[in-house]
Chains A and B, each alone.
Chain A
Amino acid sequence: MRRCGLCLAVSLLVLVYAGVARANVVEYVSQHPVPANVGGGFCYINVPHVHDYPPADVRLYRETRAGYYFVGDPVPHAYDGPRYSYYGPHPVTEARVEFDGPVYCYIQGPHFHWYQPPARASFKFSGGAYWYVGTFPPAYYQDQPRYVGINEVYGPMPYARPAVDVHAAPGGFHGEIVVNRPGLRTGAVVGGSATPPPPMPSPAPAVQVGVDINIGGGPIVVEQRGVVERRETMERHDHHHVARGGGPLMALPVRRPEPIHSAPPRNHHPTLFAPAHVEPHHPGSGQKL
């Protein structure tokens, strides 16, 4: 018995020594948030590198052969660099990084990334954001259950998301339309410096949607919004009054023949009108989100 205890103690010592001798080296292939327990903030190294700490939440990453790639929205992680507004899921199109296969961002609703989609990719810039209007391959749906959990991270996270006019959703967009809960802030600026003009055919300098919402000309802040969804055979009205404050997102109850994520999408999407009250927002006065 005594001998057994001694063996156990020696084994434990060996294990502890092995743990000490092997340093913690974690490979990253992109910029990424720094976990709070090692100081927090954001690491701006955008080439493969190593740290002595693992990611705080692996749901925000894809594991590639070369290391972790951050697929989340960098803005709530103290990121302060170039940013581009997106709406809904889309392929990750950062040209600098080589993936083994297609990688998708499963974030619902408005969010930011540090990369701009390439001109040849199937994105449309509309209502203040890039929307993916291409077709998702089966791999997107197969991987969805595994990666859609990223919305559990960002959903309740209070931060200024890009203000996107969902009524300007282009035809061919297959994701869910998501709006902020009543009493919470949508985000901030549409068309400010946070979203540089896209290289692809962009909307006209100023587009009138509904009665009084302006998109594309000068930056504007959406203060209050009413949403009307109109379908071919049914008509329903949802009114959301949006005030200042950050908060969780919820999906606008868009009625679809079947859940959007359960099968490859159809080229059918609602026509939306947006009678909204907007206030002009002058450049340089609060474009930083």
Chain B
Amino acid sequence: MIKLTIISCIALSALCLNSCTNDYLTVNSASSLLADGSYYNSKTHLTEALVASYDPLKWFDYFYSYESLPLVADLMSEDVMAGGGGETDCLYLHKISNFSALPTSVCNQTWSICYSGINRSNIVLQYINNAADMTEAEKAEYTAEATVMRAWYYTTLWKYWGNIPYFEKNLTYPYISPQIGHDAVYDKIAASLESSINANVLPMKSTAGNEGHVTQAMAEMLYADVVMYQKDATRYPTALKYMKDIIGSTKYDLVSDYASLWESTGEWCKESIFEINYTAKNGGRAWDAPIATGGSVYPKFIGINGLSGSPEFNGGWGFEPVCASAYKMFDSNDKRRDASILNFAAYSATNGATYSPRYEDTGYFMRKYLPRLDGNSGCTGSGDMNYNNNVRLYRYSETLLNAAELLLATGGSNTEAQGYLDKVRIRAGLASVTVSVDNILNERHKEFVGEGKRYWDLVRSGKAATILVAGSTTTRSANWTESKKYLPIPQGEIDAAQGTLTQNNY
């Protein structure tokens, strides 16, 4: 008995001393792997990393704050207002709209979302050469795709804030990246896009099933966007060349029915170059899972409050009322007018629909992105958060208008430019006007109303200070000045940076 006990005690002690090593203290996660090179070493896993780099694209509409890209940009134009329940309902939107954003009241999620995308794009680039089962061609394609995605995120940051921390390798301790000026940011974006485009490894247009991926056309549109916003004449020829690449490829064309663009059938049509992809089918977004994959809450957000009797739209929360001037700028025979903006009085006259006005109500609504009936069917999450309306970022009509503008700017063929402008006007059911920078900008205003282009056009064309003045929307009381070009950097970032971030002089 004693012997047995002693032996077992010694055995137990021995067992324990033996096991009490660092091996015993090293445990593995039950359902995850280390997220380093030991994981990102195959095509499958690099594809996962690449997918993850697109993921933040779909958060802008809601990630604990509503910062949909077209919404925020248009709020700074003369076309729309914030609306909703009142001045304090999404205060940051009202502030931005009135050029009175504060470091504590600005679209700070956009900052974080873009950097999430950058971090994830960097991971693809960091590990791409680690994938043993990928061909060099595949690696080149992934590299170009991730680089363009990163450039896209940086472009958004650059347009909003200008002077930002820029890094191409993810940060390690002490997690500080120096802030660089807006011109330096521009140079880096443009250079990375040129290298990706010139590698010529991306398809001009996605094959079926791959819609949503970066294409050569998307990269070229982004390049033109950046170069034209920077007014960098030295790169105009390259930008023009890229536009002509797209046009010459014949992979894209205008659709004949402008209104069809905004229906779900119009998504990824032949005119579409890049969209943020949302899907209602199996859409899992919910209030407790705001960044799950699925649909968008943006349609609900700008939907018509208390709507009833509409044969095609669901109601919503009444944000983003459209200014009457935006409706009235169209010729009455412009097919784009009623396809873009819903004039409720006229609408109600045809079907007896009613609604309850909210703050800054105008009676006009952004029809392009209104929630369609059944637009959220098939979702598993919250119905309100899963509308399938994709956000159109680049359309072929912009390629044509870019080309026209770049032709004028580089002293190219006027006829050619006229042809591109006419093509857009003809589709809208309008007669030709003489091609000029102003006419192109006017055309862009109408063609892209509600698509978040107008404000950037006003800034780059130097018209912002004259157009975006107090009274340019019903409730705007401040004037745009050059210092409003860059939003205030979120206060939390200034605080955390401990002196390494300089606030914009907003």
A interacts with B? no
Which residues in A have some Cβ–Cβ distance to B below 8 Å?
Answer: none
